[in-house]
Amino acid sequence: MSDIYRVQGPLTLDTVKSQIPALDGMLAQGDVIVDLSCVTETDSSAAALLLAWCRSAKNAERTIKLVDVPEGLRRLIAVYGLGELLPLSV
């Protein structure tokens, strides 16, 4: 069973630094579902954060699943060609 981590508020250059280590403890326990439904604002640093989280999950030999990704962030992911690297849920 996976734990759920709910991200709330903006994921922008000003906020992602505090989010980077957020999953470490959860990944130590098991797989994680990241719920992005309450994200209010994003920029390119949000895509970088998702990549960092996926790298952390891989290093911990865990899986991560990104759900309810805001449309604006989905567009950024597409523009940067990251769709194949990020485990986005439909």
Report the alpha-carbon distance of residue 73 to residue 36 in Å, rounded: 10
**Treating both helix axes as pointing N-terminal to C-terminal, what angle do 71-79 and 44-59 enclose, rounded to 10 degrees?**
80
Contact 20, 56 (CB under 8 A): no
pLDDT in tens, 48-85: 999 999 999 999 999 999 999 999 999 999 999 999 99
What is Dmax (Cα atoms) for the chain? 33
Question: Domains (ranges, CATH) in the chain?
Answer: 3-79 (3.30.750.24)
CA 29 distance to own-chain centroid: 17
Provide Rg for the chain, Cα atoms: 12
| Token pair 């326990």: residue | 29
Share of the chain above pLDDT 70, in %: 98
